């Protein structure tokens, strides 16, 4: 069963546009359309003014006609309407120099000539080299001829801003000019014997003779070398400040590097992990250790023995956690034994290992 609900006393079957609260109460006139009213709070019937067109020529901002064949539609100069225009003329592409409008028409008779602007300034033309001023005599600030110029030099005259042919120093012939006859050089004199030539410091660019004091004749006389020859066997090296030289004794024995564990091999603890016999007697001055990958979770501790006895004091050689060299360790070692004898057995013990360090090397520094 269907029950009809009638809001405000109106049967739902009788509801129309005219019965709504924001629509007109009548249908207006033929052709009107619904539109939002001026107050924007409801709808009203309005008449649509004007009509469309189906032809380009009927547009109010169009040309009014179809123009001529091949024309294009474009905005007019005032940007207010459309108009027909003819397509632009495409210029002819010119491939050769002689095809241009302002150049000679051909190369006939122009061999070895140059290109210059014509007298009217309207184009280019071919010209002889002499017409271009390639000769010294054709230039505007040089002499007109070589008459009486034999053996003379070209000299600039600042007063006239021109050049002219002149003798050098009057009667002096070019073949006899000496260094002392030049304008910027000092006069020749016996008092200058043994002196050196230098440029003056007064910005005149003139040259002058000066005496130079004699320098050191021995190594000890230099300002950046030691004042004595040191001891026998020493050699010179640049000092730490990089300001001069100092003497240093050359170590007679190179360091001995022991590869206790190869580069990619994991270090394990234990005694006598590496051993060899000294090839000569030497003085032990220091010990270092390094690894390829550092220990993790704690240090790596190493001991070195000579003849079965540790050469290191109570603090053993240590590589700290996540470090790769004993040089950065907070643990300082002291050597208990420094004199190593020829053919003495040297061995390495690994006392403590943390993590999986690899590639242990121990270096003996010798003197």
100-119 confidence digits (pLDDT tens): 888 999 999 888 888 888 98
Question: How far apart, in Å, are the Cα atoms of 340 and each of 250, 278, 303?
Answer: 19, 8, 16
Q: How confident is the model at residue 15 (pLDDT cuts 50, 70, 90)?
A: low
- More confidently predicted of 303 and 244: 303
Phi, psi of 154, deg, nearest 5:
-85, 120
The mean pLDDT value for 149-154 works out to 82
Residue 176: the pLDDT is 56
Q: Exposure of 319 by Cβ count < 10 A (0-12 exposed, 13-18 middle, 19+ buried)? A: buried
Phi/psi class of residue 104: alpha, beta or left (left: φ > 0; alpha: ψ in -120 to 50)? beta
In sequence order, the 6+-apart residues with CB closer than 8 A to the CB of 290 are: 319, 324, 325, 326, 360, 361, 363
* Residue of 229 and 327 predicted with greater confidence: 327
Query: How far apart, in whole angstroms, are the C-alpha atoms of residue 84 and residue 312?
Result: 105
How much is the pLDDT for 312?
97
pLDDT 10s digits, 257-301: 999 999 999 999 999 999 999 999 999 999 999 999 999 999 999
Q: Give the model's confidence band at 9: pLDDT under 50 very low, under 70 low, under 90 confident, else very high.
A: low
- The residue with greater pLDDT, 348 or 66, is 348
Provide φ and ψ at 23, rounded to 5°. -125, 165
Q: Which of the pair, 346 or 85, is modelled with greater confidence? A: 346
User: What tens digit of pLDDT does each residue of 39-72 get?
Assistant: 888 888 887 666 566 778 778 888 888 888 888 8
pLDDT value of position 170: 55
- Encode pLDDT of 169-226 as tens digits: 555 555 556 777 777 888 878 888 878 888 888 877 888 888 877 677 788 888 889 9
Q: What is the DSSP string of 96-130?
A: SGGGSTTS-S--TT-TT-EEEE-TTSSSEEEE-GG
Confidence (pLDDT) at 4: 47
Q: How confident is the model at residue 3 (pLDDT cuts 50, 70, 90)?
A: very low
Cα-based distances in Å from 303 to 111, 288, 290, 291, 300: 94, 11, 13, 15, 10
- Maximum average pLDDT range among 17-21, 146-150, 316-320: 316-320
Long-range contacts for 58-65 (Cβ within 8 Å, ≥24 apart)? none
Specify the higher pLDDT residue, 304 or 175: 304
CA angle 191, 196, 199 (to 5 degrees): 110
Mark 153-191 as b/e (b = at least 16 C-beta within 10 Å): eeeeeeeeeebebeebeeeeeeeeeeeeeeeeebeeeee
Which residue in this structure is represented by tokens 């005496």?
A: 211
Predicted pLDDT of residue 49? 65
Give the pLDDT band (50/70/90) at residue 2: very low
Q: What is the mean pLDDT of residues 136-160?
A: 81
Q: Are 168 and 177 in contact (CB under 8 A)?
A: yes
CA distances from 83 to 89, 90, 152 (A): 18, 21, 78
Average pLDDT over residues 322-351: 97
How far from 143 is each of 108, 128, 131, 148, 159, CA to CA, in Å?
34, 21, 17, 11, 15
pLDDT at position 1: 42
Q: Say if strands 317-319 and 124-127 run parallel, antiparallel, or are unpaired.
A: unpaired
């Amino acid at each position: 069963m269907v029950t009809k609900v009638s809001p405000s006393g109106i049967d739902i079957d009788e509801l129309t546009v005219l019965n709504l609260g924001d629509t007109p109460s009548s249908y207006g006139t033929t052709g009107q359309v619904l539109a939002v009213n001026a107050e924007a709070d409801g709808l009203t019937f309005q008449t649509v003014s004007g009509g469309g067109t189906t032809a380009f020529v009927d547009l109010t901002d169009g040309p009014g006609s179809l123009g001529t064949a091949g024309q294009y539609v474009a905005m007019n100069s005032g940007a207010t309407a459309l108009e027909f225009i003819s397509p632009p003329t495409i210029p002819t592409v010119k491939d050769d120099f002689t095809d241009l409008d302002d150049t000679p028409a051909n190369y006939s008779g122009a061999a070895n000539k140059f290109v210059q602007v014509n007298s009217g300034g309207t184009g280019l033309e071919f010209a002889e080299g002499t017409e271009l001023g390639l000769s010294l005599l054709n230039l505007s600030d040089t002499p007109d001829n070589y008459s009486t110029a034999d053996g003379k030099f070209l000299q600039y005259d600042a007063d006239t801003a021109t050049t002219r042919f002149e003798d050098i120093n009057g009667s002096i012939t070019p073949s006899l000019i000496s260094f002392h006859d030049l304008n910027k050089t000092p006069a020749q004199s016996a008092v200058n014997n043994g002196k050196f030539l230098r440029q003056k410091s007064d910005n005149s660019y003139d040259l002058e003779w000066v005496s130079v004091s004699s320098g050191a004749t021995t190594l000890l006389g230099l300002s950046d070398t030691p004042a004595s020859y040191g001891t026998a066997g020493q050699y010179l090296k640049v000092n730490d400040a990089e300001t001069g030289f100092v003497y240093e004794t050359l170590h007679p024995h190179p360091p001995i590097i022991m590869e206790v564990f190869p580069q990619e091999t994991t270090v394990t603890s234990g005694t006598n992990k590496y051993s060899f016999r000294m090839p000569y007697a030497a003085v032990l001055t220091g010990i270092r250790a390094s690894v390829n990958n550092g220990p993790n979770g704690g240090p790596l501790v190493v001991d070195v023995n000579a003849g079965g006895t540790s050469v290191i004091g109570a603090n053993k050689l240590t590589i700290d956690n996540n470090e790769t060299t004993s040089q950065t360790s907070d643990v300082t070692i002291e050597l208990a034994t420094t004199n190593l004898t020829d053919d003495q057995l040297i061995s390495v013990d690994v006392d403590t290992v943390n993590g999986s360090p690899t590639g242990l090397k121990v270096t003996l520094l010798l003197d």
